[in-house]
Structure 1
Amino acid sequence: MRLISKPVLCNYYVTYRCNATCGFCDIWEKPSPYVTPEAVEQNMRDLKKLGVKVIDFTGGEPLLHREMDTLLRIAKKYGMITTLTTNALLYPKWAERLKGLIDMLHFSLDSPDKAEHDTLRGVACFDFVLESIEKAKALGERPDIIFTVFNHNIHLIKRMYEEICLPNNLILILNPSFEYNQVEVGTGLQKKELDILSYWAKQKNIYINEAFIQLRLDGGNHTADPVCKAASSTLVISPENKLVLPCYHLGTDSFQIENNLFDLYHSKEVRAIIAQEGKLDACEGCTINCYMQPSFAVEINKYWFKAMPSTLKYSREKGTWKQLFR
C-alpha cells in the first residue's frame, strides 16, 4: 500500500567535480559546471510545491561550490531539511559560514587508520576529518561519521566506533557499499558480513537502515515486483539544471528544467518514465542506498517495517522528525 505519492527527497548535484579520487566512485571523472543560486531558488519553489521535504546537496564534493552557504540558506528559506556529505578537506575553511545551515552533516571516514582511509579516498584527507570534527563541535554542530562498508574494512567498525565516534559523541552511519555501472567495489557483502551489520545496528549511536540488509539478503530489487520507487520518491537535479531520470546512477533520460520543474515533473514524458521505476533491465538486483532509503519510506511492505526502527532511532537522536511537522 502506497503511503506517500509525492516525492520526499531531492538529490541536488551542485557539481560533479571532486577533490578526491575514490576508487568506488566515478563521479569525479566527469566534467561539470556548478549550479547557480538563481536556478536553485526557482527549483526550490517548485520542489516545495511538489511536496519535497529533504534536500541533499551532493556532488562530487559539494564544498567545492563557492556559494554553498547561499544555496543552503535558500533551502532553509523554503523550510527544507538539509543534508550534506563531505570528505572534509574544505570543511575547516567553511565551518563558520555553514553553522546552523545543515541539519544532517556527514563526514566521510572509511577507516580509523590514516593510511588506509587516505588510500581509499585517493587523497590525504584523514587529518582533515579529525580537524573538522573539532571545528564542528566547537561551533555547536553535531556531525555524523559516514562509514562506507566493504568486506575488506567491516572488521574496523569496532575501532571506528570506539576510537572516533564514542569519544566525540557522534553517530556512526554504516553505509553498505553497492555496485553501479562499471564501478568495481570488490566482492559484495555476503550473509556473514550482513549479520555483522545487523549486530552493530542495535548499538547506541550507530545507524544503519536494516532494510538495506534485508534487501541484500533478498538479492536486491526485482523487476517483476520492484521495491524501488526512485523516480516517484526522489528528484535528481544535475549541475546542468536538468531533471535526471529514473535515478542518477541509471540516468537514461534527462530534461532541461527551464524554470518550470513543477510542470515538467507532471508532464506526460516524465510520468511515463516514472511508471517504469524499478522495472527496467538495469534495475534487476539493484541495491543503491540513495534511492532505496526513500523507497522504503513511501510504501508499506516488509522493507517499510524493517526500516522504521532504525529511521526512528536516527531521527530521534538528530531531532529532524520535528521539522517534518512544521
Structure 2
Amino acid sequence: MRLRSKPVLCNYYVTYRCNAKCSFCDIWEKPSPYITLEDVAQNLHDLKRLGVQVIDFTGGEPLLHRQIDQMLGMAHDMGFITTLTTNGMLYPKLAERLKGKIDMLHFSLDSAHKEVHDTGRGVACYDFVMESIQVAKWLGERPDILFTVFRHNLDQLEEVYRTITQPNKLMLIINPAFEYNDVAVGEQLTEEELDYLTAFGKRKGVYLNEGFVQLRRDGGNRVADPVCKAASTTLVISPENELVLPCYHLGTKSFPIQGKLAELYLSQEVEELKQLEGRLPACEGCTINCYMQPSFAVEINKYFWKALPSTLKYNLSKGTWKRLLNG
C-alpha cells in the first residue's frame, strides 16, 4: 500500500567537482559547473509546491560552492529539512557561516586510523574531520559520522565507535557501500557480516537502516517487482540545472528546468519515465542507499517495517521530526 504519492527528497547536486578522489566514487572525475543562487531560489519554491520535505545539498564536495551557506539558509528558512555530507576539508573554514542551517550534518570517516582513511579518500582529510568535529561541537552543532562500510574496513567500526563517536556524543551512521556503473567497491558483505552490522546497529548512538541490510540479503532490487521508487520519491537536480531521471546513478535522461521545475516534474514525458523506476535493466540488483531510503518510507512492505525502527531512532535523536511536523 502506497502511503505517499508526493516526492519526499531532493538530491541537489551543487557541483560534481571534489577536492578528494575516493576510490569508490566516480563523481569527482566529471567536469562540472556550479549551480546558481537564482536557480536554487526558483527551484526551492517549486520543490515546496511539489511537497518535498528534505533537501540534500550534495556533490562532489558541496562546500566547494562559495554560496552554499546562502542556499542552505534559504532552504532551512523555507521549512525544508537540510542535509549535507562533507569530507571535512573546508568545514572548519566555513563552519560559522553554516551554523544553524544544516539539520543533518555528516562528516565522512571510514577508519579510526589516519593512513587508512586518507588512502581510501585519495587525499589527506582525516585530520580535517577530527578538527571539524571539535569546531562543530564548539559551535553547538550536532554532526554525525558517516561510515561507509566495505569488507576491508568492517573491523574498523568498533574502534571508530569506541574512540571517536561515543566520546564526542556523535551519531555513527553505518552506510553499506553499493555498486553502480563501473565503480568497484570490492566483494559484497557476507551473511555473517550483515548479521554483524545488524547487531551493531542496535547499539546506542548508532544508525543503520535495517532495510538496507534486508535488501542486500534479498539480492537487491528486482525489476519484476521493484522496491525502488526513486523517480516518484526523489527529484535529482544536476549542476547544469537539469532534472535527471529516473535517478542520478542510473539516469537515462535529463530535462532542462528553465525555471519551471514543478510543471516539468508533472509533465507527461516525465511521468512516463517515472513509470520505469526500478524496472530498467540496470536496476536489477541495485542497492543504492540514497534512493532506497525514501523508497522504503512511502510504501508498506517488509522494507518499510525493517527501516522504521532505525528511522524513528535517528529522527528522535536529532529532533528533525519537529521540523517535519511544522513543515
TM-score between both structures, scaled by the size of structure 2: 0.99
Instruction: Specify the SS of the correspondent of 2:145.
Output: strand
Task: Tell me which amino acid in the other structure corresponds to 1:188.
Answer: Q
1:135-174 aligned within 5 A: 135-174=135-174
Q: What residue number does 1:258 align with? A: 258
1:189 positional shift = 1.2
Q: What residue number does 1:72 align with? A: 72
Q: Deviations over 1:51-85 (max 9, x none)?
A: 00000000000000000101111111221000000
1:159-198 aligned within 5 A: 159-198=159-198
Q: Deviations over 1:156-193 (max 9, x none)?
A: 11000000001000000000000000000000112111
Separation in structure 2 between the aligned mates of residue 10 and residue 312 of structure 1, nearest angstrom: 21
Task: Tell me which amino acid in the other structure corresponds to 1:180.
Answer: Y
Instruction: Specify the SS of the correspondent of 1:211.
Output: helix
1:6 positional shift = 0.3
Task: Tell me which amino acid in the other structure corresponds to 1:105.
Answer: L
Q: What residue number does 2:299 align with? A: 299
Q: What residue number does 1:108 align with? A: 108
Instruction: Specify the SS of the correspondent of 1:313.
Output: helix
Task: Tell me which amino acid in the other structure corresponds to 1:208.
Answer: L
Task: Tell me which amino acid in the other structure corresponds to 1:293.
Answer: Q
Q: What residue number does 2:241 align with? A: 241
Identity %: 69
Separation in structure 2 between the aligned mates of residue 116 and residue 188 of structure 1, nearest angstrom: 20
Q: Deviations over 1:95-136 (max 9, x none)?
A: 000000000000000000000000000000000000000000
Q: What residue number does 1:25 align with? A: 25
1:31-110 aligned within 5 A: 31-110=31-110
1:92 positional shift = 0.4
Where in structure 1 are there 5+ consecutive unaligned residues? Answer: none
Q: What residue number does 1:268 align with? A: 268
TM-score between both structures, scaled by the size of structure 1: 1.00
Count of aligned pairs between the two proteins: 326
Task: Tell me which amino acid in the other structure corresponds to 1:183.
Answer: V
Separation in structure 1 between the aligned mates of residue 294 and residue 122 of structure 2, nearest angstrom: 30
Q: Deviations over 1:303-322 (max 9, x none)?
A: 00000000000000000011
1:251 positional shift = 1.0
Task: Tell me which amino acid in the other structure corresponds to 2:301.
Answer: N
Q: What residue number does 1:289 align with? A: 289
Q: Deviations over 1:10-35 (max 9, x none)?
A: 00000000000001000000000000
Q: What residue number does 1:321 align with? A: 321
Where in structure 2 are there 5+ consecutive unaligned residues? Answer: none
Q: What residue number does 2:203 align with? A: 203
Instruction: Specify the SS of the correspondent of 1:167.
Output: coil
Separation in structure 1 between the aligned mates of residue 144 and residue 324 of structure 2, nearest angstrom: 20
Q: What residue number does 2:228 align with? A: 228
Task: Tell me which amino acid in the other structure corresponds to 2:325.
Answer: F
* 1:12 equivalent in alignment to 2:12: yes
